[in-house]
Chains A and B, each alone.
Chain A
Amino acid sequence: MEQSSTSALLQGTVLDLASDVVSALRGGDHARAGGAPTTDGAGGNIARAAVRVLGADALLPTTLLRVPPDPGRLAVFREAVTAHPPRADAAPTVVWSHWAMTRALRRLDDPLPGAPAGDEGTEPGAGWLEDAGWQSLTHQLAVLAPLALPGEECAVSRVARSRPVDVARGFVRAVRRRDWQQAAGAGRWLTLLDGVPDTLGLETGLDFVRLMGGSDPRVALQLEAARLMPAGVLL
């Protein structure tokens, strides 16, 4: 099926944004990574939408490395949270993604207007994840990889911690299916979980995912996050 030009433009912008984050995580071009995107007109709409799609990971250099966010970039992040709230009937991953972005702002002590300081907001439910089979669990966790952070305490991370073997199985399945994005996201979660089987060979697996899929900035972002995770400390 042919992609609409809007959708293609959005995906391209997401890839550019992910590349910027990867660069910052590698200790490279922080200035560009923190640079302010266009905020006016159609370009601004695309930028906000792309930040909404990349989610809380748009601020990952700040979250993991304490790189101060550019005020312009932070403003776009806030606008993205405000402009694209989940609809009432939105899928759980959409709701959780939005929650994660709000959480990221609170970590910066920069909550949205109207939200009382210290109020974590209503945490969405994770019942759909608790009941998921290991294949679906891994897919959903990979989509919600921005929640895979050291010290993160939420319902999704609790489910992940309770099912390390299932996530490990899902990681291998993703590699064998050549779903590099899912494999990288699952690998990022696995770096945080206790009880992952040694026989998995996670480090080797992540190297392989990098070799095969690392040219995709979204994959590279998850791999960089996984690389930094053991030493990462949340703000």
Chain B
Amino acid sequence: MPSTDKALDEAAGIDTVDIEAALDPVEPDGVFRDSRECAGLALHSGGGHMLLSPPTPRPKKG
């Protein structure tokens, strides 16, 4: 397959930067759960030790 061949040709000169970037990754931006999902997690835990609890409710502005 031409595209694979091309990629392999490029890979012959694989960059140290690619390797080091994989070995020293920046922490990805987090996507925090909302309260409903957290409640679902609590149910998932089945009443044993609870891993997650919903975040503390905060007063709404206005």
Instruction: Say yes or no for B14: interface residue by CB 8 A criterion.
Output: yes
Cα A6 to Cα B33 in complex, Å, equals 34
Min distance, Cβ A83 to any Cβ of chain B, angstroms: 10
Stretch touching chain B among A16-24, A39-47, A153-161: A39-47
A:30-56 near B, CB below 8 Å:
41-43, 45-46, 49, 52-53, 55
Min distance, Cβ B42 to any Cβ of chain A, angstroms: 11
Min distance, Cβ B48 to any Cβ of chain A, angstroms: 6
By the criterion CB–CB under 8 Å, are B51 and A205 in contact? yes
Cα A49 to Cα B20 in complex, Å, equals 10
Min distance, Cβ B41 to any Cβ of chain A, angstroms: 7
By the criterion CB–CB under 8 Å, are A49 and B49 in contact? no
Min distance, Cβ B30 to any Cβ of chain A, angstroms: 3
Instruction: Say yes or no for B52: interface residue by CB 8 A criterion.
Output: yes
Of the candidates A5, A175, A177, the one whose C-beta lies within 8 Å of that of B6 is A5
B:1-58 near A, CB below 8 Å:
6-16, 18-25, 27-28, 30-33, 41, 44-46, 48-52
Min distance, Cβ A147 to any Cβ of chain B, angstroms: 13
Cα A97 to Cα B19 in complex, Å, equals 11
Of the candidates B14, B33, B41, the one whose C-beta lies within 8 Å of that of A46 is B14
User: Residue of A at shortest CB range from B44?
Assistant: A208
By the criterion CB–CB under 8 Å, are B12 and A172 in contact? no
Cα A52 to Cα B48 in complex, Å, equals 40
Of the candidates B9, B20, B30, the one whose C-beta lies within 8 Å of that of A178 is B30
By the criterion CB–CB under 8 Å, are A179 and B48 in contact? no
Q: What would be 18 A-B contacts, judged by CB atoms less than 8 Å apart?
A: A6-B18, A8-B7, A10-B22, A41-B8, A42-B11, A42-B12, A43-B8, A53-B19, A53-B23, A93-B23, A173-B30, A177-B31, A178-B33, A182-B27, A203-B49, A204-B48, A204-B49, A205-B51
| Interfacial residues, chain A to chain B (CB-CB below 8 A) | 4-11, 14, 41-43, 45-46, 49, 52-53, 55, 84, 86-87, 90-91, 93-94, 97, 135, 139, 143, 172-173, 175-179, 182, 198-201, 203-205, 208, 211
